[in-house]
Amino acid sequence: MTAQAPDDANNRLVAVTLDEDSIGRSGPDIEHERAVAIYDLIEENVFAPEGAPEGPYALRIGISENRLMFDIREQDGSPIIVHLISLSPFRRIVKDYFMICDSYHQAIRSATPDKIEAIDMGRRGVHNEGSQTLMERLQGKVRMDFETSRRLFTLLTVLHWKG
């Protein structure tokens, strides 16, 4: 469990939704992955919009005009701020991530455990790169820990994973 600073007890997300217009409908496997990713994010996170009142917060993530949208609200739904960030820095990372995930799913059917582990290490490395890029893009806008950024990057990939 990630240690939170005492002042971060309320600087967290308690609700996360994905904009339905951005993602559309998918099969049950993808819907399950989305639900798990959101559950994991809400379960443990540090999320503090700069200059905002103390949380907790609700977040709606979507894609608007080819930009990643973070619609941050107070727990009661009152708007705080909407951040739009370019998707350009994520295109290659997301493409690489999906390619590695496809290789992983193919490998688990027939590859040796060593090969599966190597592919999974590569997947984690690309996931970490995307998480770091997300933290950099939100620097000065939202303070978060690396684990929160990893979970948010998972949701960013879900927006691209239409099934």
Return the SS3 of 155.
helix
CA pair distance 141, 134, nearest whole angstrom:
11
53-70 pLDDT tens trace: 888 999 999 888 889 999
Q: What is the mean pLDDT of residues 27-43?
A: 83
Looking at residue 26, its pLDDT comes to 65
Q: What is the mean pLDDT of residues 98-113?
A: 88
Q: Name the residue with higher pLDDT: 158 or 123.
A: 123
Phi, psi torsion values for 145, nearest 5 degrees: -90, 170
Mean pLDDT of the chain: 87
Query: pTM for the whole thing?
Result: 0.85
pLDDT tier at 9 (50, 70, 90 boundaries)?
confident
Residue 133 has pLDDT above 90, yes or no: yes
Which of 88, 75, 71 has the alpha carbon at shortest distance from 142?
71
Looking at residue 76, its pLDDT comes to 93
CA distances, 33 to each of 39, 67, 112, 113 (Å): 10, 22, 25, 24
